[in-house]
C-alpha cells in the first residue's frame, strides 16, 4: 500500500464522519426548536392529508421510548421496546 492510498483512505474517513454528523446530529432540538419541529410536522400532515402510520423514538429520563401515531384512529401510543411496537403493529386492527 502506498502513501497516496493511505492519505485517500484517511480523507474519505474524515469526509464520512462529517457527513454522518450532518445526517445524525448529536443533539436533538429542545425548547423552541422542538416546538417548531412539531409544528412543521403537523402542518405537513395537515396539508398532505397523509394517513400513514408514523413511528419515532425519543429519550425520556435516559430511556429509549418508541411512539406510534395512527392517523386513522388519531391515537398515539408509547412503547418501551421495539418488540412491543412490532406486536402492536401486528395486532392494532384486531381489537
Residues in the chain with pLDDT values less than 50:
2-5
pLDDT at 81: 92
**pTM, to two decimals:** 0.47
**C-alpha grid cell for residue 47?**
396539508
What does DSSP assign to residue 73?
Answer: T
Name the H helices within the chain: 3-23, 32-48, 82-91
Closest C-alpha among 90, 39, 63 to residue 78: 63
Amino acid at each position: 500500500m502506498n502513501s497516496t492510498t493511505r492519505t485517500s483512505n484517511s480523507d474519505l474517513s474524515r469526509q464520512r464522519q462529517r457527513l454522518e454528523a450532518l445526517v445524525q446530529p448529536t443533539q436533538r432540538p429542545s425548547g423552541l426548536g422542538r416546538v417548531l419541529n412539531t409544528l412543521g410536522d403537523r402542518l405537513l400532515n395537515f396539508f398532505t392529508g397523509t394517513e400513514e402510520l408514523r413511528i419515532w423514538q425519543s429519550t425520556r429520563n435516559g430511556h429509549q421510548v418508541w411512539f406510534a401515531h395512527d392517523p386513522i384512529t388519531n391515537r398515539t401510543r408509547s412503547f418501551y421496546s421495539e418488540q412491543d411496537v412490532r406486536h402492536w403493529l401486528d395486532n392494532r386492527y384486531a381489537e
